[in-house]
Amino acid sequence: MIRVRTMIIWSLAVAGSLAMMGCSRGSSDGVTNPPPASGNPSTTITISSTGVSPKAVTVSRGSQVTFTNSDTQAHNMNSNPHPVHTDCPELNVGLINSGESRQTGALNTARTCGYHDHNQSTNTALQGTITIQ
């Protein structure tokens, strides 16, 4: 009888521990840990053979921007100034091969950031701005 009670208590303790571990990690259906609320719509800048589009975008603080390469050649997208890319390091997504996308880091500071293709730094068609409000 004591052995049965011990087994029941031990089983309940293990089940409780497993349940708590599951809660701390979240559940696959997102009920326990809902996704962070960003409230910011996704912004995409498309790179093509004719340049970047749109050339200027405005986003809310905390947003991220996706660069999508629809061109047949790779592009190396980074913030100004060339060649050090230090104005807005969150924009330094680097090499994007044809058909790929890269997302910037979180844009948390209100400012205007210029960007360009590092390998074609003087090509104005591959230059633009992101304004963070």
Domain ranges of the chain: 1-35, 43-132
Which parts of the chain sit beneath pLDDT 50? 4, 6-7, 10-39
Q: Are 125 and 60 in contact (CB under 8 A)?
A: no
Task: Give the pLDDT confidence score for residue 26 in this predicted structure.
Answer: 40
List C-alpha distances in Å: 83 to 1, 52, 78, 80, 130: 77, 19, 9, 8, 19
Task: Give the pLDDT confidence score for residue 18 in this predicted structure.
Answer: 40
Task: Give the pLDDT confidence score for residue 33 in this predicted structure.
Answer: 34
| Gap between the Cα atoms of 47 and 99, Å rounded | 10
Task: Give the pLDDT confidence score for residue 3 in this predicted structure.
Answer: 55
Q: Are 76 and 98 in contact (CB under 8 A)?
A: no
Task: Give the pLDDT confidence score for residue 42 in this predicted structure.
Answer: 77
Q: 């074609």: which residue's tokens?
A: 120
Check whether domain 43-132 has CATH 3.30.70.990, yes or no:
no
Q: pLDDT by residue (tens digit) across 60-85?
A: 999 999 999 999 999 999 999 999 99
